[in-house]
Amino acid sequence: MGMFEGKVALVTGAASGIGAATAQRFAQEGAAVIVVDMNRDGAEAVAELIRASGAQAHGVSADISRAEDNTAMVRAAIDTFGALDVAYLNAGAYAQLSFEEHDEATFDRMVAINLKGAYLGLKAVQPALSRGGAAVVTASTSGVIGLSVAAAYSAAKHGVIGLVRSASQAFAASGARVNAICPGPVATAILGVEGVPTITPADTLETVPYAGMLSPQHIAELALFLASPRSGGINGQYMIADAGFLASYPPMPQ
């Protein structure tokens, strides 16, 4: 039996990259998966890929910056599979601009998707999660340090970490947990790697070279850990996965 046998998992931003990898891994571990993305066709394609493997999945389109869409995706989980045990709020957006190039519209968009979207997602899933359930949110190493080429994105991700820490008591009161992941460079669309990642047996994942690029599955495995009873003592924390990029200064010579 898998780690999530008989459980229901919801994953946002699941049409590609980290979200698609995590949705597939939840399914491999026995979960029925609600595959959520603004890209309806992409969400359904990943859901169909999961169903083709013999697992259960349902594709849902949602704009996470809208409260009603967050409510609807949680309702879809309960209406389709009868419960919600895990929510991985991974969806986000990125804008690479110097501080001088940033404008109000860019700032508002980064906050609406990356911070408000996380807030609305947590508000929607917290009362619906089963006891012993967990929410995981994708933050960023840019939420731990500044990012001169993406100030609005970095500011929003700093907010995500504060939000997760602040929500931890409310989640604990209902018998659940919430934590964040701060990825470093990952082979996703932000870095020009498009599409649905291929999944390999978890125990065969290679160690990433110092400050190297992680695969989406490296983050997916951490998300599964934080969503599982194996991390039952961890709540309100953020975990950095960046192959040592922020660990020490100066960087190791390449």
Q: pLDDT tens digits for 217-236?
A: 999 999 999 999 999 999 99
- The model carries a pTM of 0.96
d(CA 71, CA 54): 28
Decide: helix, strand or coil at residue 50.
Answer: helix
| Residue 191's pLDDT band (cuts 50, 70, 90) | confident
| Residue 254 covered by a domain | no
pLDDT at 18 over 70: yes
Question: What share of the chain in percent tops pLDDT 90?
Answer: 94
Q: What is the DSSP string of 178-232?
A: EEEEEE-SBSSGGGT--SPPPP--GGGPPPPPTT-PBPHHHHHHHHHHHHSGGGT
Instruction: Tell me whether residue 3 is in a domain.
Output: no
Which of these is catalytic: 88, 153, 210, 238? 153
Tens of pLDDT, residue by residue over 25-77, are: 999 999 999 999 999 999 999 999 999 999 999 999 999 999 999 999 999 99
pLDDT bracket for residue 254 (50, 70, 90): low
Domain assignment of residue 28, yes or no: yes
Distances in Å between the Cα of 71 and the Cα atoms of 64, 85, 124, 143, 226 are 10, 15, 6, 26, 23
Cα end-to-end span (Å), the chain: 42
Range of the domain at 227: 8-241
pLDDT at 163 over 80: yes
Q: Which residue has the higher pLDDT, 220 or 254?
A: 220
Percent of the chain with pLDDT over 70: 99
**Secondary structure class of 88 (helix, strand, coil):** strand
Is 210 tagged catalytic? no
Domain count, the chain: 1
Please indicate, yes or no, if residue 104 is contained in any of the structural domains: yes
CATH number at residue 145: 3.40.50.720
* Each residue's pLDDT tens digit, 114-158: 999 999 999 999 999 999 999 999 999 999 999 999 999 999 999
